[in-house]
Each structure stands twice: as C-alpha cells, then as structure tokens.
Amino acid sequence: MTVPPCRFSIAASDAPIELLPRDLSGWRQGNCGVDYVHRFDSGREGPELVIQALTHGNEICGANALLWLLENNIRPMCGAMTLIFANVDAYQTFDLQRPFASRCLDEDMNRIWLPDRLSCPDSHETRRAVELLPYIENADSVLDLHSTTFAVAPMLIYPQTSGNTAFADRLQFPFPHLLYDPGSYHQGILISEHQRHADKGVSLVAECGQHFAASTSQQALAVTLRFIAQHGMLDSCVEIPAWGYAADDTAGHYRIDRVLNAQTEQFRFAIPVKGFEQYCKGELIATDDQELIAAPFDNCALIMPARVPVAGEEVVTLAERLESTQV
Ligand SMILES: [Zn+2]
C-alpha cells in the first residue's frame, strides 16, 4: 500500500521548548542484536518487562527516562527488563522550527501494530516494528512512554482489563486514567497488540505532559520507576522522584467511547480546546463544513484534540468521565 506522508506539521510550537533530543549514538549498539534495544536479565525468576520510548520521535521525555536508567545502571532485581528506543530515525530529524514534524518519518508508529501491516512491512515505521515485535510478544508487561501536544495533565491509557485496572490503581497514579475497549479506540496501537498476546499482562501508555516541557521528563522517569517498582523489580536503594506535575481537577477515570475523524479541512472546534473540556449531551463540540457535531452523551470529555485538523484524519477522542461509583 502507499503510505501517506506523516502530517505533523509545519507550525512552530506555541509552548516553550525546554527539552531537546540528545545524542543516542552511544546506545545504538544494544546487547541483543537489534539497534537501540537493551535487555537486562537478572537471572532470577520474575516478569519480563518492556519499556518503550520514542514510539513518537518528537516525544523526548521517554528517551530521557531510558537514558537515566542506562546511565545509572538500573538493573532488574528479578525477571528481565528490555529498554527500547523505538523511532530513533524520526527523533534525529528534530528541527526547532518544526518540532512536531519529527513524530514519524512515513507514518504514525502507534497505528501499525496489526498482523496484516507487519506481515508485509512497507514503511520505515513498519520495518522497525517488525524488529521490535518479538520483544513485545514476549513481554508480560509493557509501558509505552508518550507526551502530548497541549499542556494538559499526564494520563494513563490502557485496555480495560482487570489486570490493567488493578495495576494502575496500585501505581497510585493521581491523574486521569483512560480506559478503552480495543474495538472503540485507534486500531494498531502497540499496547493493544501486546494485550492480544498477554491477556494477563499489563499494557499501559503513559502520557507524561507537554512534549517539550522539562516537567514532562521528570514525569516520565517517575512513572517508569514506579512501573518497575510495582513489579517488584526495582532496587530499594533507587530513589523514586516526585511526579513531574501536580494533580488537578481532571483526575479520575474516563471511558474512551470513540475517535472522531475530520471529514473536511473546515473542521473547527466550537471553542479553542486543549483537552479535558467537558460537554453535556447535545452541546456543540465542533463544526465540520456544514455538519454540527454535538456531544453524544453526558460528561463527554475531549481527549487529545489535534492542533491542525486534517481531512480524513483523527481529530479528537471522546471519553465519558465516570463517577467513582462506575469505576
Ligand atoms: Zn505519542
């Protein structure tokens, strides 16, 4: 198939850029035959963890968290831990004038984890995913580190399974939790593919804050170390840093309902949005050329709206904010 060019996008960042990519070349040669993959086996029985950074090349925080683990020689106390810098080639194209453009080279690397795409890889991202897939398939638990376009609260996103919800609760993550059923969310997400192979395992995305904010790096390290610790694999000598952000009134649980695509270039939100705006059923969210788009249910929250709507592409996720009694 022909892969559309990566569409993220021309404009400069409207947020200050406090994080810049670092030179990863010293970590290119991994220890298991795949570039930028490092696996540490404690030699003791225990879980097989994968922590992945740079699924999106401009999401710098995850690379910083993995660098911290590598530079501080953090090793699992039991089981094995694999650290993956996924799309380093995209990361290396970072341009201060177009900081969103290094998200990918050919296509979004978090929409391609599908058997029919990976059985005939035809893009930079699918070819890299084929190299990484054995580690994902072999993992009991996967943490995929991301960041967001807009400065909104950090969040955890995960398939709604009893294993994931119990683990996420044990993490005591004081920010939004977004639960999804694989049928109602983006297709081809890494953690959905992992969950298919490890239905008793833990599969989490951590969104750690705005892409280029220094606090986002601290948030990524804080969630990574808690993830390792919660599996009983972190040396108790390692000090776990505070969260990078303070919790705000968006904290709580949300059920992802659907992803909206823009039908035309005329898609416009009714008001400027950055995420977590909440609507009652019937309230106007956006217009798309002549079409009015109203909230389809009460307590309808907007999740990760696009900066620049593109016809035919995803523009926002709708999620129902749950009462504590619904969780
Ligand atoms: Zn991302």
Q: What is the distance in A from the centroid of ligand 1 to the CA of 82? A: 19
Q: What is the distance in A from the centroid of ligand 1 to the CA of 290? A: 31
Q: Which residue has the higher pLDDT, 16 or 220?
A: 220
| The pLDDT of residue 156 | 98
| The pLDDT of residue 184 | 83
| The pLDDT of residue 12 | 57
**CA separation, residue 216 to residues 51, 78, 203, 209, 257 (Å):** 17, 28, 21, 5, 27
Q: Tokens 């995929």 appear where?
A: 144
The encoded tokens of residue 57 equal 């090349």
| The pLDDT of residue 4 | 47
User: Please, which pLDDT band fits residue 204 given cuts at 50, 70 and 90?
Assistant: very high
Quick: pLDDT tens for 235-267: 999 999 999 999 999 999 999 999 999 999 999
Please identify every residue whose CB atom is under 5 Å from ligand 1, which is an ion. 56, 59, 146
**CA separation, residue 27 to residues 56, 61, 68, 109 (Å):** 18, 16, 12, 21
By the 10 Å C-beta count (0-12 exposed, 13-18 middle, 19+ buried), 186 is classed as middle
**At residue 48, does pLDDT exceed 80?**
yes
Q: Which CATH architecture has domain 255-326?
A: Beta Barrel (2.40)
What is the Cα–Cα distance from 184 to 198, expressed in whole angstroms? 20
User: Please, which pLDDT band fits residue 6 given cuts at 50, 70 and 90?
Assistant: very low
Which of 142, 136, 145, 255 shows the shortest CA–CA distance to 202?
A: 142
Q: What is the distance in A from the centroid of ligand 1 to the CA of 156? A: 12
What is the Cα–Cα distance from 138 to 322, expressed in whole angstroms? 33
| The pLDDT of residue 183 | 82
Which of 110, 147, 116, 148 shows the shortest CA–CA distance to 132?
A: 110
Q: What is the distance in A from the centroid of ligand 1 to the CA of 59? A: 6
What is the Cα–Cα distance from 159 to 236, expressed in whole angstroms? 30
* Domain regions of the chain by residue span: 25-230, 255-326
Q: What is the distance in A from the centroid of ligand 1 to the CA of 103? A: 8
| Fold of the domain built from segment(s) 25-230 | Aminopeptidase (3.40.630)
Per cent of the chain over pLDDT 90 is 87
**At residue 17, does pLDDT exceed 70?**
yes
| The pLDDT of residue 16 | 83
∠ Cα 162 246 61 (to 5°): 75
Quick: pLDDT tens for 91-141: 999 998 898 899 999 999 999 999 999 999 999 999 999 999 999 999 999
